[in-house]
A and B are shown apart, each in its own frame.
Chain A
Amino acid sequence: IAGITQAPTSQILAAGRRMTLRCTQDMRHNAMYWYRQDLGLGLRLIHYSNTAGTTGKGEVPDGYSVSRANTDDFPLTLASAVPSQTSVYFCASSVASGGADYNEQFFGPGTRLTVL
């Protein structure tokens, strides 16, 4: 593994189903993020984690949950998917977050999710 990987690459999901998007990084970055990208709306932050064991809500957290059990993994779960969650989801990581240590965010290749 090199950088950030996301799985699956794409998924079609029936409304009401539960879905977990996976994200793994091998750079030992402390901070990780989940964004959704929708046409005309850019990238919007869903949830973030500044370090293993902690998480926080972003701009659009409703309907999503995350966990950060270890440094490398940051899964995003849709408990009961709805059509408005159709989007492209990007995971990102950075060495640290906040203050003078703010650093580049590295993005994964994305997961294209369609909820019918």
Chain B
Amino acid sequence: GENVEQHPSTLSVQEGDSAVIKCTYSDSASNYFPWYKQELGKGPQLIIDIRSNVGEKKDQRIAVTLNKTAKHFSLHITETQPEDSAVYFCAAGGGADGLTFGKGTHLIIQP
């Protein structure tokens, strides 16, 4: 089955700086790579996703890059703001049995 590794587990950045979270996956058949944001006491919410036929995708301050050869993908958040503080999960999938999630990154934005 798929195995997803996510780093770092905790990331603290100054407000206004950029944050990068990295994930690797094992199954070359995976073709869908979403990123979820989870705020305290709530369910995860999709913030951006990328499919294997695309190398990069951007949505305002958030971007995701995918390297299929190396089997890794990254989330980039620029100009971080206090409301970006949350737990972020990467995931990989594309088969019929759902997504495999990374263990999460607790992003802390320091004022």
User: Which residues from chain A sit less than 8 Å from chain B, CB to CB?
Assistant: 31, 33, 35, 40-45, 48, 50, 56, 58-59, 90, 92, 97-99, 102, 104-110
Contacts and interface: CB of A to CB of B under 8 A. Distances in A.
Contacts of A42: 6, 89, 101-104
Interface of B: 1, 6, 9, 31-32, 34, 36, 42-46, 49, 51, 89, 93-104
Contacts, number: 62
Nearest to A40: B103
Contacts of A43: 44, 89, 101
Tell me whether chain B's interface is mostly helix, strand or loop, or mixed.
loop
Given A58-B97, A107-B43, 20 more contacts: A31-B98, A35-B101, A40-B9, A42-B102, A42-B103, A43-B101, A44-B101, A45-B98, A50-B96, A56-B96, A90-B44, A92-B43, A97-B95, A97-B97, A98-B95, A102-B32, A102-B93, A102-B94, A105-B46, A110-B42
